[in-house]
Structure 1
Amino acid sequence: MADSDYAPTKFSDPDVTAKGETRASVGWTGLKTLWLNTGTLCNIECANCYIESSPRNDRLVYLSRADVRPFLEEIDQPIEIGITGGEPFMCPEILGIMEDVLSAGHSLLLLTNAMRPMMRPRIQQGLERLATYYGDRMVLRVSLDSHDPAIHDAERGEGAFEEACKGLKWLGERSVRVALAGRQALTEDEAAARAAYGALASALDLSIDPANTKHLVLFPEMVARDDPPEITTACWGILNKSPDDIMCANQRMVIRRKGAGRATVTACTLLVDDPAFEVGTTLAEATAKPVKLNHPWCASFCVLGGGSCSA
Structure 2
Amino acid sequence: MAHTTLIQQKFHDPFVTAKGETRGSVDWRGLKTLWLNTGTLCNIACRNCYIKSSPTNDDLAYLTLGDVMPFLDEIDALGDGTKEIGITGGEPFMCPDILAIMEAILSRGHTLLLLTNAMRPMMRPRIREGLLALKARFGGQMTLRVSMDHYLEAPHDEERGTGSFAAALEGLSWLAGEGFRLAIAGRQALSDDDAKARAGYGALIRRFGLGIDPSDARQLVLFPEMIEGDDPPEITTACWSILNVDPSDMMCASQRMVVKRQGAARPVVTACTLLPYDAQFELGETLSEATAAPVQLNHAWCASFCVLGGGSCSA
Match of residue 156, structure 2, among 141, 152, 163? 152
Alignment partner, residue 205 of structure 2: 201
Alignment partner, residue 263 of structure 1: 267
RMSD: 1.0
Whole-angstrom distance in 1 between the partners of 2:191 and 2:177 = 34
Deviates more, 1:34-43 or 1:75-84: 75-84
Whole-angstrom distance in 1 between the partners of 2:171 and 2:289 = 39
Whole-angstrom distance in 2 between the partners of 1:288 and 1:198 = 43
- Measured after TM superposition, the shift of residue 187 of structure 1 is 5.7
Aligned AA (2:272): C
Whether the aligned pair in 1 keeps the contact of 2:8 and 2:18 (CA below 8 Å) is no
Which protein has the bigger helix share?
2
Whole-angstrom distance in 2 between the partners of 1:66 and 1:238 = 45
Match of residue 185, structure 2, among 176, 181, 186? 181
Alignment partner, residue 116 of structure 1: 120
- Measured after TM superposition, the shift of residue 289 of structure 1 is 0.5
Alignment partner, residue 88 of structure 2: 84
What per-residue deviation string (whole Å, max 9, x for no partner) do you get for residues 24-60 of structure 1? Answer: 0000001000000000000000001110000000000
SS across alignment from 2:147:
strand
SS across alignment from 1:217:
strand
Match of residue 163, structure 1, among 152, 163, 167? 167
Identity among equivalent pairs (%): 67
Deviates more, 1:175-184 or 1:220-229: 220-229
Whole-angstrom distance in 2 between the partners of 1:254 and 1:227 = 28
- Measured after TM superposition, the shift of residue 68 of structure 1 is 0.2
Whether the aligned pair in 1 keeps the contact of 2:64 and 2:101 (CA below 8 Å) is yes
Deviates more, 1:107-116 or 1:205-214: 205-214
Aligned AA (2:114): L
SS across alignment from 2:123:
coil
TM-score by length of 1: 0.96
Deviates more, 1:32-41 or 1:217-226: 217-226
Match of residue 137, structure 1, among 97, 118, 141? 141
- Measured after TM superposition, the shift of residue 240 of structure 1 is 0.3
Aligned AA (2:19): K
TM-score by length of 2: 0.95
What per-residue deviation string (whole Å, max 9, x for no partner) do you get for residues 58-109 of structure 1? Answer: 0000000000000000113201000000000000000000000000100000
Shift in alpha-carbon separation, 1:255–1:225, aligned structure 2, 3 A: closer
Alignment partner, residue 195 of structure 2: 191
- Measured after TM superposition, the shift of residue 141 of structure 1 is 0.3
What per-residue deviation string (whole Å, max 9, x for no partner) do you get for residues 216-237 of structure 1? Answer: 1000123334211100000000
Matched, 1:214 2:218: yes
Whole-angstrom distance in 2 between the partners of 1:112 and 1:272 = 18
Aligned AA (1:259): G
Whole-angstrom distance in 2 between the partners of 1:186 and 1:92 = 33
Shift in alpha-carbon separation, 1:27–1:56, aligned structure 2, 3 A: same
Whole-angstrom distance in 2 between the partners of 1:235 and 1:253 = 26
Q: How many residues align?
A: 305
Aligned AA (2:253): A
Alignment partner, residue 67 of structure 1: 67
SS across alignment from 1:238:
helix
Whether the aligned pair in 2 keeps the contact of 1:186 and 1:221 (CA below 8 Å) is no
Deviates more, 1:221-230 or 1:46-55: 221-230
Whole-angstrom distance in 2 between the partners of 1:308 and 1:281 = 23
Whole-angstrom distance in 2 between the partners of 1:275 and 1:28 = 19
- Measured after TM superposition, the shift of residue 186 of structure 1 is 5.8
What per-residue deviation string (whole Å, max 9, x for no partner) do you get for residues 251-292 of structure 1? Answer: 000000001110110001011110000001000110010000
- Measured after TM superposition, the shift of residue 148 of structure 1 is 1.2
Whole-angstrom distance in 2 between the partners of 1:224 and 1:265 = 22
